[in-house]
Structure 1
Amino acid sequence: MYLTTTHLCCGKNNIFQRKENHSCCGKETYDMTTHCCCANPTLEVKPKHETCCSKATDSRKKTESQQGSPPTRTLPILSDLNCGSETYNPHEQMCCSGNLYKKASALTKCCGEDAYTLSDDNVLCCNGILYRNVSEQSECVGGVIYTPANTTCQMSTRPRLGEHCCGGHTINPRTHICCNGHSHNKMNGNFCCGSEVYDHHNQFLTCCSGHLYNLTHLRGNAECCGSLLLQYSNHICCSSSTNSIMYDTKPNHRCCGHYYYNTSLWSCCAERLKPTPKPNSSPAEYRLKPLTDLIPEMCNKTVFFGKVESVALENYLRHVVLKVVWQVNMKSENFIKDPWLHVSLDHCSTPATDNGMTYLWEENHNGKHKLLSHPVDLTSDIYMLYSVCYQKKG
């Protein structure tokens, strides 16, 4: 996908940023004020002083004359309209995702890589896919073709009243949960982990970025590192908001975001490496985690979702203005009254934060605040924390 107002598509898979006086020539762009597009026999960009440029101009004028265009109207150069590696006349042909078709009438439309006519019977375009031999009453809803006469799912029919599609069958959402097209009984859990379902309160199950692990046969503590399970003492997980990487532990090495660096060569400040080692410096080392890795541990703490509104640096401190979006205190009812909080963090030893993003924070007994999670999705993550913790409380 690309935005036609800001970019050009030349050929099938070549996208360029749109520039003034630039157009396509085959699979590349060129400046029309200094170059032209020549067919030798394939399309090539040539400087304007080349002989073929005058032929390209003459060809354009001849095309305009044959089409009877008024002298005040400039038609697009045929080489400007490309469909894959071919040029075409938009008055006679149409381009559908790199494939050329004859334009039969104004009712001829594209559907992905195919062309069809709106008056065709038993044909339906649904989210860029052309379906043939469908019944007349079929309709496209959310990328799914529904046929009222049938009662099953899988891209062809509408479920019965009150039922919901889950993959190729229907489910009752009151008793079952759908995880990536696989249905599960809610008695086995209320949360999805990829295509599986699990219970957050089961201490022997943990979900790591869509991968469910059984901890029954593991010895010692284990924690998530992206989609992997960190369970050996000779490994360490370094993570940022974009990556989580597992490393073999080495002496004099520390995490800096998702990097594992040599402290004798580098120093780290707010998850950024600098080639200026600072001897005798041992900042408090901790890493942010996805919210799913923190539940249900967070149910016993005073935590809240805070949106970073602004950040200011002063010496070694990072002053953050937070807007409290939602707070949960499972041990008491002492909620934060002022929705605006002013938090001061040690700049270098605290993971980086982005303006406008919402994170999970913890309020300690001494009134200080600690950043806990990667950026969260307000709708789904607030529901997850609320439902898991209040189920446990109940």
Structure 2
Amino acid sequence: MKHLLGTALLLLTLPAVPAFAQAACTPGTYAAPGGDFVVLVKSPAVAAPGLRYLFRDGRRGATSDAGVPLACGANDVTVNGKVWAPIAFRETPATFDSVGTKMTGVLIEPPGAPDAKRPLVVMVHGSERTSPIGGVYGYAMAAQGISVFVYDKRGTGGSEGEYTQNFELLAEDAAHALEQARSMAAGRYERAGFFGGSQGGWVAPLAATRTKADFVAIGFGLVASPIEEDREQMVSEVRAAGLGDDAVALVNRLSQATAGLLLSDFRTGYDALDAVRAEMADKPWAAKVEGEYSGAIARMPNDMLKRIGRARVDNLELIWDYDAVAALKKLDTPLLWVLAGEDREAPIETTRGALLGLAKEGKPFDVYLFPDTDHGMFEFTTNADGSRSVTRITDGYLKLLGDWIKGDARGPYGRAERLTPR
């Protein structure tokens, strides 16, 4: 969850987009009679007239890719020789107020007669600055028979205010979004709650303590503070490099030193940082350590840190020592948490331990893990230099989210492993 870079996916190498393979497609969601679907949307990552596509089983790419697994017609798509028809969603734009800020959103409802037993979910986005309105994930949820409210985070898209990553303020926004969605869908839903991905794993549970929520679902989020995230990322890096306990102990000390700077607003902590720098000086691998922010801090001279460290690293109002466990302890709401087994952005060990401990104490938490996946539930290939290239969203993830939100999670879901007992 790269706070300073916006979206976690910046670390993952996307495949190159080759020349257009077919005629232009029409944005929309198209469904097979058996329930499969594909979402086609415009995306800044795909050159026009190409569209981003996402299948229920997690296959993704651009309609301009060579070998794309669909063919577009005037008002339909053909997949494996069968015609899939468009889903005529009901989409209602909205504005609402949150803490004196005008926010924009859209309610997406499946077609057909109003269904008072349909679930309603508010999508709580991650650290990205892009608008989720018109994106693949809201439609992928709605295509599974769920009413979905998507909204622009403050300071992004059509929402006013300043962009921030302050979990308290973002949770207020999410709570107001749920209240707005309930009002708009009155009489056409039974249960209402949140889904949060990545940074939304901090925000959505907190929002559920501010307003009544019937459920919370989280994908690849953390039950750890941003400071702990930084430390765990560095530990993951040195372990991946084949280094031992001495290296782990050193990056732990580095994280502790940089945390001291952050928590003092860069006023104090320089002696501790200098001591760790001295220990790192003869370690060739130390120059490659990154973490979430500690590597960058360690490589900046103290005079620069004193002048611009806060502006460079601490300009988004993050709560660095945020107590995620405390928010979860306040919840008696059913919660789904889905872990990416090889998550480099949000290493899972602390999170898995906290969730399983809370479930053992009686919290109504369901925890699933998809092995061999990175942040975003992406499967990947590993390149010669150790970097990863995304291939697809792992099969079963989107269906698990949809079924669980509808109260009907039975599985199996691809290679998912359920970590909590039924």
Scaled by the length of structure 1, the TM-score of the pair is 0.21
Larger Cα Rg: Structure 1 or Structure 2? 1
Larger strand share, 1 or 2? 1
Scaled by the length of structure 2, the TM-score of the pair is 0.20
Larger helix share, 1 or 2? 2
